[in-house]
Amino acid sequence: MIDAIVLFEQMIEHPLLKKQAFVIFFNKKDVYEKKVKKVNIVDFFPEYHGKPQSVSQGIKFFHSKFLANVKERKVTSHITCCTDTNLMKTIVAAVVRKESVKINKDIEKYLKEEKRTYEQYKREPKLLLLGSSDSGKSTLLKQMKILHGSGFSKEEKERSAVNIRKNIYDAINVLVRECTPEKYADLFKALSELDEDGSSALPPEMGEHIHNLWNEKEVQETFARIGPKMLPDTTEYRFLKADYDPTNEGKLEFNEDVLMLRTVTQHISCNVFQLDRTRLHMFDVSGLKHHRKQWIPYFDDVAAILYIVSLSSYDQTMVEDPTVNRMVDALVLFDQIVNNPALSKPDIILFFNKKDLYEKKVKKIPINEFFPEYQGNYS
């Protein structure tokens, strides 16, 4: 009995059970009524002052023992005999009736709160970011976090630092293998000792070596030849800053490092930003071709679609299909979105992104090599 009292007190004081209603069943009434006439309660509980053979006073005593330390909690109790079917039927029906009233009230309260939350959500504007892979959707989302959010969390910074190093490793592997591999055997050996997933920090001397590697003539020529097809457009930025420790949160340029980070979006994310008095929901979805069917559920109630195009992609091919030009894919996809009956209501905003990269590239790579119908000049 003492063990039962202690266990009950632990349960009723447990933080996870603070909202639950408690019902105590004082069971085995039939066995108790026989025993109390032969075995005195006071022999085991000296604090009992009732009549030695009183069934009701004994029950009252044990009831008080269980509720002695209960504060601000409503506890109901029943005297039961689980082998008495008729008695249990009556008691359980009474408990269910009483608890069902409370449960119904809780459900109604929950539904009202959910309805209020949903109605508020319906009123708030939603912006859907669309575009082909590597157009810059995720970068725009990062800018929103910097400008209108709380910036990047410690976990995001640590994850970004890992991906930044991975960007560097991947670029080196592609570039150097296209050069004269044996010439850079020492670099490959040093890289092989680091984790390819970017979890190992770059040693200071390694960063400086990579920085200098970028200035090698063969590397520059190789980058000019294969860069647009095989490497991210931030490769030059990564090489020039390879000696910078991106895990140092004290450096202001970390935001720029995160913005210049290239990772493939594999999932759908929703971020909420407070713009003055307006809460804006911004959805970012994967631009990979085989993920585009996942966009459909997010078309409902969208106020506007922000379609992002990479201007610098006019000479690049898709990762999923090297036979398809990225700009052509962006054009086809945009046409499908604009002419989709399900998207007749949302406004469509067209962002021509990566202006800085485009301005450099267009002076070196003529547009009409990929779009013969282009009749403009090259400046």
Tokens 């922000």 belong to 306
* Rounded Cα distance, 258 and 363, in Å: 28
Known binding residue 260? Answer is yes
Of 244, 245, 246, nearest in space to 255 by CA: 246
User: Three-state DSSP class for 322?
Assistant: coil
CB 128 within 8 A of CB 285: yes
In DSSP terms, 353 is beta-bridged to 310
Of 348, 355, 373, nearest in space to 312 by CA: 355
Instruction: Note the maximum CA span of the chain.
Output: 111
Known binding residue 132? Answer is no
Note every long-range contact of 359-363, with CB atoms under 8 Å and residues 24 or more positions apart, other chains counting: 361/228, 361/312, 361/315
Known binding residue 282? Answer is no
Known binding residue 109? Answer is no
Known binding residue 27? Answer is no
Known binding residue 76? Answer is no
| Number of DSSP helices (H) and strands (E) in the chain, helices first | 13, 7
Known binding residue 263? Answer is yes
Known binding residue 85? Answer is no
Known binding residue 247? Answer is no
- In degrees, to the nearest 5, what angle opens at C-alpha 144 toward C-alphas 244 and 282? 135
User: Which tokens sit at 303?
Assistant: 């106020």
Known binding residue 70? Answer is no
Known binding residue 353? Answer is yes
| Dihedral angle over CA of 35, 38, 44, 46, nearest 10 | 120
User: Three-state DSSP class for 261?
Assistant: coil
Known binding residue 259? Answer is yes
* Rounded Cα distance, 274 and 282, in Å: 11
Q: Which residues are annotated as a binding site for Mg(2+)?
A: 138, 265
Q: Which residues are annotated as a binding site?
A: 138, 259-265, 353-356
Q: Which residues are annotated as a binding site for GTP?
A: 259-265, 353-356
